[in-house]
Chains A and B, each alone.
Chain A
Amino acid sequence: MTVMEQRGAYRPTPPPAWQPRTDPAPLLPDAEPYRVLGTEAAGEADPELLRRLYAELVKGRRYNAQATALTKQGRLAVYPSSTGQEACEVAAALVLQEQDWLFPSYRDTLAVVARGVDPVEALTLLRGDWHTGYDPHEHRVAPLSTPLATQLPHAVGLAHAARLKGDDVVALAMVGDGGTSEGDFHEALNFAAVWQAPVVFLVQNNGFAISVPLAKQTAAPSLAHKAVGYGMPGRLVDGNDAAAVHEVLADAVRHARAGGGPTLVEAITYRVEAHTNADDATRYRGDAEVETWRQHDPIALLERELTARGLLDEDGVEAARQDAETMAASLRAHMNQDPALDPMDLFAHVYAEPTPQLLEQRAQLRAELAAEAESEGAQR
């Protein structure tokens, strides 16, 4: 039989091993970031929740300002501010239940504080008297993670372990837009989807990774679209719309809790301050851009909504401001005290039991300290 003769009988079929897997359509993010404030959806938002968000946002803004001021006074070694990103920070904390876990990055001390951690303990890393100031198990908040995206697989593993044990626990992990280029971002999302782990990934797309804009970071249609490649839903949300962020994250948490697996949420926001107090943002962006974002400020957006609906008056604004001032005053007072330092702590928690080598080195440091104290005593 010739090829020509065969032709009539030939039916093209897919390669044998191929099977349709996940339908991508329901996983795709909306064409535009989801918004609530100023839209019809706002009418359905719980007024109590909106007021709570407002109070937390105002406090969060004040917290950022206070922490930045503390760097100028030498009370913090460095501070990566989340000014302008408070809606994401606050919502991430508020959507979680008691037993859930938060996995923050260095920029997310506000989320950590909103989860209930003492601000002084949240800022310990950035003050520099230790790495992690709080007990992660007490608040179910993982240590602030500085190596980008490395906290994401931890969140997946923890959520997976909880599910294996039959516990009702969701992990919410935070990462920046730059961090989505890291291999750990990819690996974490892949593991989460394969294991159907109860995790929510919150990407705060604040426009920059230090100086590098998103355009140099990715060619994806959006960061939320990346979810589709892993087989999980991607959601795109206006990161300065606190009600929208809260709703989208709450949905994702509920979905995870119900056994539906992970979600990737991309919140579009903006880093209003420089990367940290040590950065000079004028080298890579203009004032005009910052100004357009100031016009889309999370607090102003929420205040407008609340005022228009008669849920907030001048007294309410003043009360929130007062509350924030009280928090700032207390933070200032605490941070103005010198932290207690014990050089012997260097050796305290390297291993469960110090190795013989560390015992020797500990003895050396102790002797050095004794000699130092003696010579100081002699000088006096």
Chain B
Amino acid sequence: MTTVAVKPATMAQALTRALRDAMAADPSVHVMGEDVGTLGGVFRITDGLAKEFGEDRCTDTPLAEAGILGTAVGMAMYGLRPVVEMQFDAFAYPAFEQLVSHVAKMRNRTRGRMPLPLTVRIPYGGGIGGVEHHSDASEAYYTATPGLHVVTPATVADAYGLLRAAIASDDPVVFLEPKRLYWSKDSWNPEEPAPVEPIGRAVVRRSGRSATLITYGPSVPVCMEAAEAARAEGWDLEVVDLRSLVPFDDETVCASVRRTGRAVVVHESGGFGGPGGEIAARVTERCFHHLEAPVLRVAGFDVPYPPPMLERHHLPGVDRILDAVGRLQWEAES
């Protein structure tokens, strides 16, 4: 068997490659946003695209998020496949009305006659030492909006595969990019990149028997680290990477929890109204008789995102995850 050179690549590189491949494969794919052209985006995800495909395909727009998304809606109405870049999580909020009232609803309001195949890429989450308005875990706004798909990669390969799938989707996809993983490296074979399909399947990142950590995006590596550390305590943790919040993969999640009997949901988003509440409820409703303990959540605190020098106290970390695992009523075991 020949082994292909599998080189380390960053998530940022995989995302750029996904955009490039999508644009090369389909002339209706248009990238648009603030600074995405000449500069290549503040995170350089669109690096080189304007040069390769021209400024009509990778466009520096005026600085107005509602206008960017609103015009993208019109472009999608005319048969293009816009890929919009929002510069940061908190700067996507001006586009919220367009997203909720039009992007999410257009297929439904027109009885399927006017679907909007567009992708909204949003760098999200903390951990990069950003000053205020640069670190919001904003996913719950989007998961609370019917009509949107909400996906978020945690690995280099998934970054490529999910973005290709998002752009190919005939539904609008909010593509949340964990910005602190942009520079994370993975061995990845760029010779055989493949879309992740269908959107909506979770993956078991690490098998274990003791308990399941249910997580996504920026918290996946943290959970992997916690699972390693937990071995010292005698726990063999399973880690489920959701990859897609909407649609939600009840099947994979529940299969894991039924095996382990215990679960902790981990995310940066605040606990109150965050996805973890929904996930805990779904797991409880479906796996009640398999559960040895209540489903716990390790979430960001219900506070405005803290200043960078305090963010480590806010973000779910290994210790907080292990504490939660410790509270999963192990006494009953012995």
A interface with B by C-beta (< 8 Å): 130-132, 135-137, 142-143, 147, 150, 152-162, 164-165, 171, 183-184, 186-188, 190-191, 194, 345, 348-352, 355-357
Binds A, one of B93-101, B203-211, B217-225, B323-331: B93-101
Which residues of chain A are within 8 angstroms of B67 by Cβ–Cβ distance?
153, 156, 184, 187-188, 190-191
When A and B form their complex, which 8 residue pairs have the shortest distance between CB atoms, in order from nearest?
Answer: A157-B74, A153-B70, A187-B67, A157-B71, A355-B247, A131-B109, A158-B74, A161-B78
User: Do B247 and A356 have beta carbons less than 8 Å apart?
Assistant: yes
User: Do A136 and B114 have beta carbons less than 8 Å apart?
Assistant: yes
- Tell me the complex Cα distance, A184–B98, Å: 9
User: Do B110 and A143 have beta carbons less than 8 Å apart?
Assistant: yes
6 new A-B pairs (CB below 8 Å) besides A132-B111, A147-B97, A161-B80? A143-B114, A156-B70, A160-B75, A184-B97, A352-B171, A356-B249
Residue B66, interface by CB 8 Å? yes
How many cross-chain pairs have Cβ atoms below 8 Å apart between A and B?
141
User: Do B113 and A136 have beta carbons less than 8 Å apart?
Assistant: yes
User: Do A184 and B66 have beta carbons less than 8 Å apart?
Assistant: yes
Residue B234, interface by CB 8 Å? no
Which residues of chain A are within 8 angstroms of B94 by Cβ–Cβ distance?
183
Residue B115, interface by CB 8 Å? yes
Residue B273, interface by CB 8 Å? no
- Tell me the complex Cα distance, A156–B114, Å: 17
Which residues of chain A are within 8 angstroms of B76 by Cβ–Cβ distance?
157
Which among A159, A183, A186, A349 is the interface contact of B74 at CB below 8 angstroms?
A: A159
Which residues of chain A are within 8 angstroms of B64 by Cβ–Cβ distance?
186-187, 190-191
B interface with A by C-beta (< 8 Å): 30, 56, 61-62, 64, 66-67, 69-80, 82, 94, 97-98, 101-102, 105-115, 146-147, 149, 169-171, 200, 246-251
- Tell me the complex Cα distance, A350–B64, Å: 28
- Tell me the complex Cα distance, A130–B94, Å: 28
User: Do B147 and A136 have beta carbons less than 8 Å apart?
Assistant: no
User: Do B97 and A348 have beta carbons less than 8 Å apart?
Assistant: no
Which residues of chain A are within 8 angstroms of B251 by Cβ–Cβ distance?
356
Name the distance in Å between B57's Cβ and chain A's nearest Cβ: 9
- Tell me the complex Cα distance, A339–B162, Å: 42
User: Do B110 and A132 have beta carbons less than 8 Å apart?
Assistant: yes
Chain A residue, CB-CB nearest to B114 = A136
Name the distance in Å between A175's Cβ and chain B's nearest Cβ: 13
Chain B residue, CB-CB nearest to A103 = B74
- Tell me the complex Cα distance, A155–B75, Å: 9
Which residues of chain B are within 8 angstroms of A157 by Cβ–Cβ distance?
70-78, 82
User: Do B73 and A154 have beta carbons less than 8 Å apart?
Assistant: yes
- Tell me the complex Cα distance, A293–B245, Å: 55
Which residues of chain A are within 8 angstroms of B108 by Cβ–Cβ distance?
131, 349-350
Which residues of chain B are within 8 angstroms of A156 by Cβ–Cβ distance?
67, 70-71, 74
- Tell me the complex Cα distance, A347–B78, Å: 25
Name the distance in Å between B105's Cβ and chain A's nearest Cβ: 8
Name the distance in Å between B305's Cβ and chain A's nearest Cβ: 24
Which residues of chain A are within 8 angstroms of B250 by Cβ–Cβ distance?
356-357
Name the distance in Å between B185's Cβ and chain A's nearest Cβ: 33
- Tell me the complex Cα distance, A349–B169, Å: 15
User: Do A142 and B62 have beta carbons less than 8 Å apart?
Assistant: no
User: Do A158 and B77 have beta carbons less than 8 Å apart?
Assistant: yes
Which residues of chain A are within 8 angstroms of B249 by Cβ–Cβ distance?
356
- Tell me the complex Cα distance, A135–B147, Å: 19
A-B contact pairs, 9 of them (CB 8 A): A152-B70, A156-B67, A157-B71, A161-B78, A164-B80, A183-B94, A352-B169, A352-B171, A357-B247
Which residues of chain A are within 8 angstroms of B112 by Cβ–Cβ distance?
348-349
User: Do A191 and B77 have beta carbons less than 8 Å apart?
Assistant: no
Which residues of chain A are within 8 angstroms of B80 by Cβ–Cβ distance?
161, 164
User: Which of A157, A160, A186 lies at the interface centre, i.e. has the most chain B CB atoms within 10 A of its CB?
Assistant: A157
User: Do B107 and A158 have beta carbons less than 8 Å apart?
Assistant: no
Which residues of chain B are within 8 angstroms of A171 by Cβ–Cβ distance?
74
- Tell me the complex Cα distance, A236–B200, Å: 52
Which among B71, B106, B169, B248 is the interface contact of A191 at CB below 8 angstroms?
A: B71
- Tell me the complex Cα distance, A21–B67, Å: 23
Chain A residue, CB-CB nearest to B73 = A154
Name the distance in Å between B225's Cβ and chain A's nearest Cβ: 31
Name the distance in Å between B300's Cβ and chain A's nearest Cβ: 24
Which residues of chain A are within 8 angstroms of B171 by Cβ–Cβ distance?
351-352
User: Do B66 and A348 have beta carbons less than 8 Å apart?
Assistant: no
Chain A residue, CB-CB nearest to B106 = A143
Task: Given A150-B97, A158-B78, decide whether A137 and B113 contact each other with a Cβ distance below 8 A.
Answer: yes
Name the distance in Å between A158's Cβ and chain B's nearest Cβ: 4
Which residues of chain A are within 8 angstroms of B66 by Cβ–Cβ distance?
153, 183-184, 187
Which residues of chain A are within 8 angstroms of B56 by Cβ–Cβ distance?
164
Which residues of chain A are within 8 angstroms of B105 by Cβ–Cβ distance?
131
